Amino acid sequence: MKRRNVIASVLAILIVVAIAFFLSNRNLTQQIEHGLYVPKKSNITPEIALLQRYIRINTTNPPGNEIEGAKFLGALLDEAHVRYQIIESAPRRANLYARIRGKNRGDGLLLHNHIDVVPAHGKWDVPPFSGAIKINMLHGRGSIDMKSIAICELEAFLDVARSGKVPEHDLVFLATADEETGSIFGMQWLLEHRPDVFGDIKYMITEGGVTEMQKEKVTYFGVETGSKQIVTFDLIGKDEASLQRARIGLEPYFRPPDPDRLLPGIRRFFHAVAPQRIDFREPLENIDKTIADGHWWLLPSTMRELLQNTIWARSIEKRPDGTLAMHVLMSNLPDEDPDRRIQWVLDKAKPYGVTAGPVVRKEGPAPISSDETPLFAIITREVRRELGDVPVGPEVLATTTNDARFLRPKGFICYGLQPFPLDFFQSLSVHHTNERVRIDWFMSGVRVMKRIVADWAFGKSA
């Protein structure tokens, strides 16, 4: 009897421990998922209220319907007596354009953002278009990508307009449609049909920057200067066997054994970020030696990606005419000629009786923008003024891209800027559930963007 009591007591203790462990683990998991380690009370500023209002306008793409977002931005410009145009590339597919003329022609600055957001699928803690604030986080689709950055840019633009002073060069505010599904009704359409929008512009600021963080401290402020370029097209075959043989023939190139080449802009990125990569500091600081020694494959996968043109052959589907199509995805180095790469694949596939199908998406070449410019120096200075003596340097993206890919080929110097700190947990919410921005950090981004634009416009901080 006594022994049974002891066993029962031990089991009870184990059950209590297991329950406590489960609850503790669930609580920790929830904290990690929501990134709410440091809740802080923050005042609801006019800028935060504007962001809430903007998020509440549903501009999900597809279908797009950016017109209501453009009208919202236009009303704010009206209040400041700034002229603007709402440019519809198709019914309700709207872009907004405003310009402040400068003293001198050329060398203008374009502040770019996109109005559309991705669909808000999945289960959210709050309605995705509520703009609700929980503790110190403003939740909602577009709170990061990229309505928050749009408000930062708009506030900076309006500061210049309200100052009554004429900037040294033109300043343009441009909010576009359709970025999330290829920019056919946005940036691409404007470049073809409204080239005047880009007249006298040299620089562009848009999304794409990265803020690496430890706890609450930014450890590297990465300004995006370039990205890999995507090409997608189909290979056509009479039967599945021929396409499968072509796929097997291409498989050695899915993960090439050697790097293709090291671009100077990528070398600069590796060297700039090396001090923050404790495990990879030495190989990144001297990436040429690392490649020569054959040790490049020890680098993180996203960095290896920046040394190679890669390819992937995906699903096989039946076409209406009875033939079969295999989808091909290529991720090319920024300066790569996409037509040369497509022809290379066709040459590899031709022996298997496979022919070329339609090209769905073709990007590049889009050269990496220099980080040795007066604007980059301004960004560095103002970021450090706001965040302290943090490393500021270039960032080349391996797996994502933005509308800068359409302007860089035309000679524009484009920078992807994440003006406020964004930690790992918040970044996971981009294009996923519970997208959110920390409101005190967002206000930091408003200040930074205002000072960057004022420095550029007038040669000193406002």
> For 381-430, how does the pLDDT look when each residue is reduced to its tens digit (9 = 90+)?
999 999 999 999 999 999 999 999 999 999 999 999 999 999 999 999 99
**Is the pLDDT score of 28 beyond 50?**
no
Residue 9 confidence (pLDDT): 61
203 and 261 together in one domain = no
Least confident of 10-24, 29-43, 202-216: 29-43
- Domain of 99: which CATH number? 3.40.630.10
Given this model, what pLDDT does residue 34 score?
46
Residue 358's φ and ψ, nearest 5 degrees, are: -70, 145
User: Which pLDDT belongs to residue 413?
Assistant: 98
Instruction: Give the model confidence (pLDDT) of 285-324 as tens digits.
Output: 999 999 999 999 999 999 999 999 999 998 899 988 888 9
317 DSSP β-pair partners:
325
In the chain, how many domains are there?
A: 2
Same domain, 54 and 195: yes
On whether both 152 and 298 belong to a single domain, the answer is: no
Lowest mean pLDDT among 3-7, 426-430, 454-458: 3-7
| pLDDT (0 to 100) of residue 396 | 98
- Cα–Cα distance for residue pair 61/387, rounded to 1 Å: 34
Q: Which residue in this structure is represented by tokens 């999900």? A: 60
Burial letters 395-425, b for 16+ CB under 10 A, else e: bbbbeebbbbbbbbeeebbbbbbbbbbbbeb
The pLDDT assigned to 298 comes to 92
Per-residue pLDDT for 456 more than 80?
Answer: yes
| Dmax (CA) of the chain | 96
| 342 belongs to a structural domain | yes
Is residue 168 domain-shared with residue 65, that is, in the same domain? yes
Bridge partners of residue 416, in order along the sequence: 206, 224
- Per-residue confidence (pLDDT) for residue 215, from 0 to 100: 84
Mean pLDDT of 328-345: 96
In a domain, 322, yes or no: yes
Compute the distance between CA of residue 164 and CA of residue 150 in angstroms, rounded to an integer.
Answer: 22
Alpha-carbon gap, residue 353 to 365, rounded angstroms: 29
pLDDT band at residue 37, thresholds of 50, 70 and 90?
Answer: very low
User: What's the confidence (pLDDT) of residue 317?
Assistant: 92
Query: Does some domain include residue 346?
Result: yes
How confident is residue 7, by pLDDT bands cut at 50, 70 and 90? low
Residue 390: inside a domain? no
Q: Which of 362, 381, 410 is the last residue of a domain?
A: 362
Please check whether residues 241 and 358 belong to one and the same domain.
yes
Same domain, 192 and 57: yes
pLDDT attached to residue 366: 97
| 24 has pLDDT over 80 | no
Q: Are residues 141 and 254 located together in one domain of the fold?
A: no
Question: In the predicted model, is pLDDT for residue 461 greater than 60?
Answer: no
Residues 113-125, mean pLDDT to the nearest whole number: 97
Residue 298 sits in the same domain as residue 158: no
In a shared domain, residues 82 and 117: yes
Asked, for residue 451, whether it belongs to a domain, the answer is: yes
Percent of the chain topping pLDDT 90: 85
pLDDT tops 80 at residue 52: yes
CA angle 35, 38, 40 (to 5 degrees): 120
Which residues span the domain enclosing 81?
Answer: 46-207+418-458
**What is the rounded CA–CA span in Å between residue 458 and residue 445?**
20
CB 166 within 8 A of CB 91: no
Q: pLDDT band for 443, please (50, 70, 90 cuts).
A: very high
Mean pLDDT value across residues 61-69: 96
Give mean pLDDT, residues 242-246. Answer: 95
Task: State the pTM of this model.
Answer: 0.89
120 and 89 share one domain: yes
Q: Is the pLDDT of residue 89 over 70?
A: yes
pLDDT at 133: 95
Of 108, 77, 82, nearest to 456 by C-alpha is 108
Q: What is the mean pLDDT of the chain?
A: 92
Does residue 152 form part of some domain? yes
For residue 417 the two structure tokens come to: 């800027």
Per-residue tokens: 136: 């110190």
Residues 50 and 199 in one domain: yes
CATH number at residue 264: 3.30.70
- Cα 184 from Cα 190, distance rounded (Å): 9
pLDDT of residue 40: 58
For residue 16, name the pLDDT band (cuts at 50, 70, 90): low
Residue 256: per-residue pLDDT: 87
pLDDT above 60: residue 164 = yes
Q: Domain ends where: 343, 362, 381?
A: 362
Among 347, 362, 377, the domain boundary falls at 362
Are 263 and 160 in a shared domain? no
- pLDDT surpassing 80 at residue 33: no
